[in-house]
Chains A and B, each alone.
Chain A
Amino acid sequence: QVQLQESGPGLVKPSQTLSLTCTVSGGSISSGSYYWSWIRQPAGKGLEWIGRIYTSGSTNYNPSLKSRVTISVDTSKNQFSLKLSSVTAADTAVYYCARAGRYFDWHSWGQGTLVTVSS
C-alpha cells in the first residue's frame, strides 16, 4: 500500500519561497496512471487544491495560484515537490500531498505538514 510523507521547513518568511517534498513509499511514483497533487488547508478552513503532476511530468495548477506555483518530480528519489513563491500570511496552512486518478479522487494522502509564514 502506497504511503506519502511531506517534509520541509515549518516556517517561511514573507516574500520568500515555500518548498516542500513528498516522499512516496510502497510503490514507484512512475508506475500506473496516477496524478500526484498538493492540497492545503488553512486552520479552521476548507481544502484548496494547489496543483498536480502526472507520471509523465505534465502539470496542472489551480488558476488562482498558477503564477506562483511549480510542481516537479524526481523519479530517482521517488519524490515530488512543491515550490510556492512570494508567500504571505495567507499561505499559512497545513499542506498535504496526495495521489489520485485522473478525476481528483485522492485515495492516498500524506499526514500533512504545517507551514507558517511569518517574519
Chain B
Amino acid sequence: QSALTQPASVSGSPGQSITISCTGTSSDVGSYNLVSWYQQHPGKAPKLMIYEGSKRPSGVSNRFSGSKSGNTASLTISGLQAEDEADYYCCSYAGSSTPVVFGGGTKLTVL
C-alpha cells in the first residue's frame, strides 16, 4: 500500500481537461509544498512534469499544472492529447525520517 493515494485510472477525450488527485497526510503533502509529478510511458523512465507543487521544468507543456489544497495535491492536464496517455505518479517530501513517499500511480487513458 502506497503512502500517497491516487486513483487507479482516469480517462478523458482529446481536448478535454482531467485532474489526478494525490492524497497524503499532514506529515507529507500537507506540511510541504514539495510535491512532484512524473509521467511514465510503457517501457520508459519516468519524466518530471511538475516539481515543488506547481513548477514546470523547461520543455514541459503549459498544459500541465499542479496545485495543492490541504493534504491533497492535484495534477491537471488541459487540452488532452493522445501522447498524454501514460501512467502518472505523485511524490512528496515527508521530512527527515522518511524523506520521500510515492503515490501508487494513475493510468490515464485518452479515449
Contact partner of A96 among B45, B98, B99, B102, CB < 8 A?
Answer: B45
Secondary structure at chain B's binding surface: helix, strand, loop or mixed? loop
Residues of B contacting A63 with CB < 8 Å?
Answer: 97-98
Contact partner of A46 among B36, B99, B105, CB < 8 A?
Answer: B105
**Best-buried of B38, B44, B51, B97 by chain A (most CB within 10 Å):** B51
Residues of B contacting A105 with CB < 8 Å?
Answer: 36, 48, 51-52
Secondary structure at chain A's binding surface: helix, strand, loop or mixed? loop
List the interface of chain B (C-beta within 8 A of A). Answer: 2, 32, 34, 36, 38, 44-48, 51-52, 57, 89, 91, 93, 97-100, 102-105
List the interface of chain A (C-beta within 8 A of B). Answer: 46-49, 60, 62-63, 96, 103-107, 109-112
Residues of B contacting A62 with CB < 8 Å?
Answer: 98
Q: A46-B89, A47-B89, A105-B36 are in contact. List 10 more A-B contacts (CB 8 A).
A: A46-B103, A46-B105, A62-B98, A63-B98, A103-B51, A104-B34, A107-B51, A109-B45, A109-B46, A111-B45
**B85 CB to closest chain A CB, in angstroms?**
17
Q: Compute how far the CA of A54 lies from the CA of B16 in the bound complex, rounded to whole angstroms.
A: 41
